[in-house]
Amino acid sequence: MSQAEMSFAQALTEAKQIIVQQSNRIKTDLDKIRGLQDTIASQTSAIHAGERTIREQAEALARHDDQVRSLTARLAEATQAREQAETIIDRQGQRLTQSQAALTRLEQQVGEYAARLEQVEQELQATQSQLPTAQDNEALAALSTLLSTKKVSVPAAGGRPAVPPQPMRMAEAA
């Protein structure tokens, strides 16, 4: 019996050793599982942080996209306003050029009119210098009066009686 008991004791020792080995394996597996759980937890935390970062970056990207759209619209408006301003400036430039041309023509006409006016003034002065003055008119009137007085003339020997003088007529000044 002792062998059987020994065998039983051996079996028990072997079972105990197997249980201890299994227990050690379970502890090792448990430590591995805990390590994997910690790794999973930290990776889950990192994944959540990454997802949060991605979400924040997506929101920032959406805001930037909205800003780009807004700035693009403002740029289009500014470009259109610049083009309209250039059109207006071009029209005003054309008007200014036309006005300057008209001014040049008018200045030329004024010069021509001034020259013509000077010519007319010279002609007027020349004509006025040829007209009788007030003294000339008085002298002509006195001469006319003298000539219109009747004189009795004595006929000369063998001659005819003198014809009485006719009064002079003054030419009307135009």
pLDDT in tens, 73-124: 999 999 999 999 999 999 999 999 999 999 999 999 999 999 999 999 999 9
Q: Within a domain: residue 56?
A: yes
Q: Is the pLDDT of residue 170 over 70?
A: no
Q: Look at residues 110, 106, 86, 108 and name the one whose alpha carbon lies nearest to residue 98.
A: 106
Least confident segment among 37-46, 55-64, 72-81, 163-172: 163-172
Note if the pTM is more than 0.85: no
Percent of the chain with pLDDT over 70: 82
Q: Is the pLDDT of residue 44 over 70?
A: yes
Q: For 158, left (φ over 0), alpha (ψ -120 to 50), or beta?
A: left
Q: Within a domain: residue 7?
A: yes
Average pLDDT of every residue of the chain: 85
Q: Is the pLDDT of residue 172 over 70?
A: no
User: Cα-Cα-Cα-Cα dihedral of 40, 46, 50, 56, to 10°?
Assistant: 130
User: What are the CA-CA distances from residue 19 to residues 12, 26, 29 (Å)?
Assistant: 10, 10, 15
Let me know the angle formed at the C-alpha of 127 by 122 and 133, rounded to the nearest 5 degrees: 125
Q: Which two tokens stand for residue 101?
A: 């041309």
Q: Within a domain: residue 91?
A: yes
Q: Within a domain: residue 129?
A: no
The maximal CA–CA distance of the chain, rounded, in angstroms, is 229
Q: How many domains does the chain have?
A: 1
Q: Within a domain: residue 141?
A: no
Model confidence pLDDT, tens digit, residues 10-36: 888 888 999 999 999 999 999 999 999
Range of the domain at 61: 2-97
- Return the pLDDT at 147: 87
Q: Is the pLDDT of residue 160 over 80?
A: no
Greater pLDDT, 40 or 163: 40
Instruction: Assess contact for 162 and 155: CB atoms under 8 A.
Output: yes
Q: Within a domain: residue 89?
A: yes
Q: Within a domain: residue 108?
A: no
Q: Within a domain: residue 105?
A: no
- Return the pLDDT at 11: 83
